[in-house]
Amino acid sequence: MTGLEHLGIHFFLHPAFGFLALALVMAFLKNSHYQIWRWLLLVPPVMAITVVVSLTMGPSGPRDLATFSYLGQTLHLGRVDTLSLVFAHVFAIQSLIGFIYALHVPDRAQHIAACLYVAGAFGSVFAGDYLTLFIFWELMSIGSVFLVWLRGTPTSTAAGFRYFLFHIFGGLFLLGGLLLRHAALGTFAFTAVAPDAARYFDYLILVGFLVNAAFVPLHAWLPDAYPEATITGAVFMSAFTTKTAVYALARGFAGFELLAIGGCVMCVYGVFYATIENNARRILSYHIVSQVGYMVCGIGIGTAMTVDGACAHAYAHILYKGLLFMGVGCLLYSTGSAKLTELGGLASRLPLVMIGYMVGAVSISGMPLFNGFVSKTMTIAGAAEAHHTWLALAMELAAVGTFLSVGIKLPYFAFWAKPKNDMPLKPIPWNMYLGMGISSLLCLFIGLFPQSLYKLLPFPTEYTPYTTWHVLQSSLLLGFTGLGFYLMRRIIPPHPSRNLDFDFLYRAIGRGFVKLVSVPTAAVDNIWTEVYARVGLRGLLSIGRGTNVFDGKVIDGVLDGSARAVREDGGAAVARIQTGRLQDYLAAAVALGLLIFVIVWLVK
Amino acid sequence: MQEPKLLGSWLETARERAGAFKILLYLVLAALVVLNFFIVPHEPEFATEKLPGFWALFALAGTVVMVVVLKKIVYPMLAQPEEDTNDRS
């Protein structure tokens, strides 16, 4: 492999680079020409896959492949080791699947947002220091919030703002933690912290990571915002934000007891909410919380087997969760609704969508032959082996609940339940089917050949998923969950509602804050107006008479000239820029920030 | 892209034979429990795993309790009117 080692070292092209470059290029393209430029969307993912696969063939030790100095700090953009590679590997594959699924979308803004988002995810997993991590971490937040906003509905706008505020909140914890850590230790290096040596700044950083990992009770942004994202945006979002956080936790905080218990709470919490939810995309969102719970729990237990299990599960999860979001996305695209109460009886009219969805559903449920089986059982067995029997049992219960909601309830009410549905269906573009097809095959392939996944894991593993007992146990669990559903079929039908979760608390805090600011401000303003009217105006009027003379004679002459220039040359442009939409100002701020970054770098 | 009509009509026929699938499910479930009497874990991860039918009961009881508690007790406490009337693409 010596030749390939050199290849890896000398030709490290950061996968984020392609996505950033494409985002820049797309800024100059027109939506009307999308039939031509849309093929460019596949270039950065293919480049990313090539780079990552070539890196997996290199030497196994950690490598620092891309460093550069910026403002007196050394940024490490290319820390490559087995842990970063397993995440980068599946990120690269999923980015290709995501862009294939989105090929029909003629809106370049959505593609730019997705590119920035994916670039942020790659930048984060290859970041060797907290400063680099923070920059890409925030890029991810910005890219993803536009995937919500660009849906363009009032609820998506509101949900996007809540999402963004919450991520800023998490980002500030991360920033505060890393700066305090630098002040105390003199380094930005992103390395593992031993649980008994963790200090307050490590916990601040941990909170920042936990926000993105949707750790209960910091999770509510996820089921709030993901169901409001664009159809193709939700497919991207299901893959990157939480899994980058899982990577960061595995890198920095393995073995923290808090994560083991909290992860288990996530597992069952997500499942419980999904059981009573009606919106299909919100059911899947709650199951992200639940599935990420397995990973967080595995990392918290912190043995080689459970950390491996967490990584394997993240890999498998990205594929099947993307597939599930693609399936439900097809339903939403075709019927116009993702609410189970409005669907039903579609199996015979959308059979391929149903089959694709079901592959994802049995994968997430851990059915033998599919990828969820080879990753989920690893985490649970690892937990039991480390004598965390109760945690393992809770994860088994969550597995039952997963099959109940995602494996049976959702498809039953979406595809069966009612007699054949006659609602008008919009034809689904071929590329959406292709994205689902590739994901389905990968879910099956990894389920059939688990070594293809295990060989990427950070620790060598001896785990064998396919024993007679494991297969029988899983079959018993799934089969009798099915029987339970059948017995409960009169109670379980969903109802249209929005169920209280922690996001209602955020909203209450937000409203309270607005009141806190606006009520005293209004009171002060009232008094001021009164005082001004009685005292200030009289004085001002007499001064005004004096200045009026000066104004009329001198100033007007000068201003008339410049006003004419503004009106004729710049006024219209300025008015166009000032849209009054915070989203636009945020985009402008990011562009300006990147520009300053580049200028400083070049001048240095 | 057009969805395949033949597959669709086959699924429609399958739906009409739901009764047969139900009997098949019962048979498979019974067979799994019978198998569980002969196949037990060598190194049980949980003490109760050695009892045949443990996981069958775990899943069945888990599902029933979860659905009843969540739908009948928890759901009425959490349900709010829907705010989004625009889940249309």
- Per the listing, tokens 């007790």 go with B73
* Residue contact B46–A401, C-beta within 8 A: no
* Residue contact A485–B64, C-beta within 8 A: no
Identify whether the C-beta of residue B1 lies closer than 8 Å to the C-beta of residue A428.
yes
The Cα–Cα gap between A66 and A538 comes to 68
* pTM greater than 0.90 (yes/no): no
The Cα–Cα gap between A583 and A159 comes to 13
What are the DSSP calls for A284-313, one per residue?
A: HHHHHHHHHHHHHHHHHH--HHHHHHHHHH
The Cα–Cα gap between B12 and B18 comes to 10
How many angstroms separate the CA of residue B47 from the nearest CA in chain A?
10
> Which residues have a Cβ under 8 Å from the Cβ of A158 and sit 6 or more positions away?
none
Q: Which chain A positions have a beta carbon within 8 Å of B4's beta carbon?
A: 351-352
Q: Which of A337, A348, A380 sits opposite B9 (nearest CB)?
A: A348
How many angstroms separate the CA of residue A275 from the nearest CA in chain B?
7
For residue A332, what is the nearest residue in chain B, using CA coordinates?
B89
The strand pair at A63-64 and A67-70 is best described as unpaired
Q: What is the pLDDT of residues A176-199, one digit of tens each?
A: 999 999 999 999 999 999 999 999
The sign of the torsion formed by the CA atoms of A313, A56, A370, A380 equals: negative
Confidence at residue A3, expressed as pLDDT on a 0 to 100 scale:
42
Q: What is the pLDDT of residues A119-147, one digit of tens each?
A: 999 999 999 999 999 999 999 999 999 99
Q: Which of B8, B32, B80 sits opposite A351 (nearest CB)?
A: B8
Mean predicted lDDT score pLDDT of chain A: 90
Identify whether the C-beta of residue A60 lies closer than 8 Å to the C-beta of residue A82.
yes
For residue B9, what is the nearest residue in chain A, using CA coordinates?
A348
| Single-letter code of the amino acid located at A322 | G
pLDDT(B85) > 70: no
% of residues, chain A, pLDDT over 70: 93
- The conformational region for residue A537 under phi > 0 = left, psi -120 to 50 = alpha, else beta, is alpha
Chain B interface mutation, best of A350, A476, A481, A503, highest count of B Cβ atoms under 10 Å = A476
The Cα–Cα gap between A378 and A393 comes to 14
Q: Which of B12, B25, B59 sits opposite A420 (nearest CB)?
A: B12
Choice among A212-221, A398-407, A540-549, B56-65 with the minimum mean pLDDT: A540-549
Average pLDDT over residues A369-392: 91
The Cα–Cα gap between A223 and A229 comes to 11
Confidence at residue A198, expressed as pLDDT on a 0 to 100 scale:
92
Confidence at residue A557, expressed as pLDDT on a 0 to 100 scale:
61
Identify whether the C-beta of residue A395 lies closer than 8 Å to the C-beta of residue A379.
yes
* Residue contact B9–A397, C-beta within 8 A: no
Cα A368 from chain centre: 28
Nearest by Cα to A122 from A41, A19, A251, A16 = A16
The strand pair at A63-64 and A79-80 is best described as antiparallel
Average pLDDT over residues A415-444: 92
* Residue contact B67–A484, C-beta within 8 A: yes
Q: Which chain B positions have a beta carbon within 8 Å of A400's beta carbon?
A: 58-59, 62-63, 66
Q: What is the pLDDT of residues A6-19, one digit of tens each?
A: 444 446 899 999 99
Identify whether the C-beta of residue A87 lies closer than 8 Å to the C-beta of residue A314.
yes
Complex ipTM value: 0.91
Mean predicted lDDT score pLDDT of chain B: 86
pLDDT(A460) > 90: no
The Cα–Cα gap between A26 and A109 comes to 8
* Residue contact B3–A487, C-beta within 8 A: no
* Residue contact B40–A469, C-beta within 8 A: yes
How does DSSP classify residue A422? -
The model's confidence at residue A561, banded by pLDDT at 50, 70 and 90, is low
How does DSSP classify residue A594? H
Q: Which chain A positions have a beta carbon within 8 Å of B80's beta carbon?
A: 497-500, 504
Rg (CA), chain B: 21
Confidence at residue A6, expressed as pLDDT on a 0 to 100 scale:
45
Q: Is the backbone peptide bond immediately before A217 cis, with ω within 30 degrees of 0? A: yes
**CA distance between the termini of chain A:** 38
The Cα–Cα gap between A592 and A599 comes to 10
> Which residues have a Cβ under 8 Å from the Cβ of B89 and sit 6 or more positions away?
A231, A332, A333, A336
* Residue contact A499–B79, C-beta within 8 A: yes
Confidence at residue A5, expressed as pLDDT on a 0 to 100 scale:
44
Cβ count within 10 A of residue A207: 17
Helix axes A430-448, A371-385, angle to 10 degrees: 40
* Residue contact B39–A469, C-beta within 8 A: yes
Nearest by Cα to A397 from B64, B30, B28, B75 = B64
Cα A21 from chain centre: 21
Q: Taking the CA of residue A75 as centre, how many other CA atoms within 13 Å lie in the half-sphere pointing to its CB?
A: 16
Between chain A and chain B, how many beta carbons pairs sit less than 8 Å apart? 179
Q: Which chain B positions have a beta carbon within 8 Å of A434's beta carbon?
A: none
Identify whether the C-beta of residue A194 lies closer than 8 Å to the C-beta of residue A255.
yes
Rg (CA), chain A: 27
* Residue contact B84–A153, C-beta within 8 A: yes
* Residue contact B64–A396, C-beta within 8 A: no
For residue B86, what is the nearest residue in chain A, using CA coordinates?
A153
List beta partners, residue A498. Answer: B80
Q: Which chain A positions have a beta carbon within 8 Å of B62's beta carbon?
A: 397, 400-401, 481, 484
How many angstroms separate the CA of residue A440 from the nearest CA in chain B?
17
Q: Which of B11, B40, B88 sits opposite A337 (nearest CB)?
A: B88
Q: What is the pLDDT of residues A57-113, one digit of tens each?
A: 888 778 888 888 887 888 999 999 999 999 999 999 999 999 999 999 999 999 999
Q: Which of A268-282, A411-425, A588-602 has the highest mean pLDDT?
A: A268-282
The larger pLDDT score, comparing residue A538 to residue A235, is at A235
User: Which residues in chain B (4-43) have CB-CB distances under 8 A to chain A?
Assistant: 4, 7-9, 11-12, 15, 22, 25, 28-29, 32-33, 35-36, 39-42
| SS3 category, A189 | strand
| Biggest CA pair distance of chain A | 99
| Single-letter code of the amino acid located at A483 | L
Confidence at residue A593, expressed as pLDDT on a 0 to 100 scale:
82
Q: Which chain A positions have a beta carbon within 8 Å of B78's beta carbon?
A: 276, 499-501
Confidence at residue A486, expressed as pLDDT on a 0 to 100 scale:
94
* Residue contact A392–B2, C-beta within 8 A: no
Alpha-carbon distances, residue A28 vs A47, A119, A143, A455, A570 (angstroms): 22, 19, 18, 42, 22
pLDDT(A1) > 50: no
Q: What is the pLDDT of residues A19-66, one digit of tens each?
A: 999 999 999 999 999 999 999 999 999 999 999 999 998 887 788 888
Burial class (CB in 10 A: 0-12, 13-18, 19+), A164: buried
Choice among A179-188, A400-409, A572-581, A588-597 with the minimum mean pLDDT: A572-581
Nearest by Cα to A363 from A467, A285, A256, A445 = A445
Identify whether the C-beta of residue A124 lies closer than 8 Å to the C-beta of residue A133.
yes
Q: Which of B36, B68, B83 sits opposite A476 (nearest CB)?
A: B36
Confidence at residue A509, expressed as pLDDT on a 0 to 100 scale:
86
The Cα–Cα gap between B89 and B86 comes to 8
Q: Taking the CA of residue A225 as centre, how many other CA atoms within 13 Å lie in the half-sphere pointing to its CB?
A: 30
pLDDT(A459) > 70: yes
In this structure, what are the phi and psi dihedrals at residue A393, rounded to the nearest 5 degrees? -65, -40
Average pLDDT over residues A350-366: 96
pLDDT(A480) > 70: yes
